[in-house]
Structure 1
Amino acid sequence: MFSEEMWPENEKKCAVVRKPKQGRKRQELLAVALGVKVGVRGGFLWPPLKLFACPQISSLVRRAALTHHDNHFNYEKTHNFKVHTFRGPHWCEYCANFMWGLIAQGVRCSGLKSEGLYRVSGFTEHIEDVKMAFDRDGEKADISASIYPDINIITGALKLYFRDLPIPVITYDTYSKFIEAAKISNVDERLEAVHEVLMLLPPAHYETLRYLMIHLKKVTLNEKDNFMNAENLGIVFGPTLMRPPEDSTLTTLHDMRYQKLIVQILIENEDVLF
């Protein structure tokens, strides 16, 4: 046990428990969270808690207060959760707080039902790890959930692959033709024009695009859970799959809505176009 006099001045602040305004029950709750004896001047702190800095102790107090709060929130939304280790503080949209710790601090959705799939980014260093694994091991690279439990790492690596291609999946030669097709107002004529330009793609590019659109169509079928429809995916994949031949910021900004529209059309009409 450690007395108040033995603690440095800056650590005494962590050991002080002020009388809460909401009564005895609240006071006991905070005392239990901090390991301080209630009602004792110069209370004692459990030795293990000395390892924590003030912010971590504050986090424990907030977490305990949320757990024992009288008003509990019930969410109808269902999830497919997996235990996840966060390298840094991760914001929880439900409890409006950060998740902290070293390992298995929380859970997050995984798979096609993961909210914001392809829109939410994974940690950059983990995405780079996946890239290096493919560069080193090729098809033998292990990207299983046991190695990378965060699905956003895998989706981020896929987007990075498409962005780094020297020639985009939608080639420079066909870029302007796709943009012109997207500008056609008549829906049927626009669809026919997009199909004609698709036939101009090299076989490898065509098959890659077809395979990707089949996958993205599956993503949209889970829109109720992941909130990613064809338009949202078009916003994400438009600039990733097609880039103007000339490196012009003005052209890129001007064409963004048409890039989004092309990918949206490809996803929505995947079974007709391919």
Structure 2
Amino acid sequence: DDAFADLTDGSESNSVAGVLKLYLRELREPLFPIFLFDQFTDCAKADSTQEFVRKARELIEKLPVSHILLLRFLFAFLSHLCEFADENMMEPHNMAICFGPTLLPIPEGKDQV
């Protein structure tokens, strides 16, 4: 069953997204801990897909199991939303802009760009 089948306009989906982001922001520790910020940003600069996957796997293995489980569900959900980009304009790039700062906050003193 689709829990959202009876929604009639877009306001509910905006509310759901807002609640999800609020929940993620209010976690005691971000899903991607601030002390790993530099390592995650270095990972994103990998020269090849293989290098990126290797580095990302190493970093993710450092996370608590609870974070890994939540990330698996969250990324599956966000990927599903991206499948409807023609309707919701949430392509992966836009999704990253909306959720990136919530998932991996920029530490104080770091360039915000």
Superposed CA deviations along residues 90-140 of structure 1, whole A, max 9, x for unmatched, are xxxxxxxxxxxxxxxxxx34xxxxxxxxxxxx6xxxxxxxxxxxxxxxxxx
Report matched runs for 1:21-60 at 5 Å: none
Compare the two structures and name the one with the higher helix fraction.
2
Report matched runs for 1:98-109 at 5 Å: 108-109=9-10
What is the CA–CA distance in structure 1 between the aligned matches of 2:34 and 2:104, rounded to whole Å?
Answer: 8
For 1:253, the aligned partner's letter is Q
Unaligned runs of 5+ in 1: 1-79, 83-107, 110-121, 123-149, 255-274
What is the CA–CA distance in structure 1 between the aligned matches of 2:83 and 2:25, rounded to whole Å?
Answer: 25
| Contact 1:174–1:200 (CA under 8 A) maintained in structure 2 | no
Q: Does 2:12 correspond to 1:153?
A: no
Q: Indicate which of 56, 62, 74 corresponds to 1:200.
A: 62
Q: Indicate which of 36, 39, 48 corresponds to 1:174.
A: 36
What is the CA–CA distance in structure 1 between the aligned matches of 2:27 and 2:91, rounded to whole Å?
Answer: 25
Report matched runs for 1:124-273 at 5 Å: 150-244=12-106, 246-248=107-109, 251-254=110-113
Report matched runs for 1:102-117 at 5 Å: 108-109=9-10
Aligned length: 108
Q: Residue 173 of structure 1: CA displacement? A: 3.0
Q: Residue 227 of structure 1: CA displacement? A: 1.5
User: RMSD of aligned C-alpha atoms?
Assistant: 2.0
Q: Residue 172 of structure 1: CA displacement? A: 2.1
For 2:108, the aligned partner's letter is D
Unaligned runs of 5+ in 2: 1-5
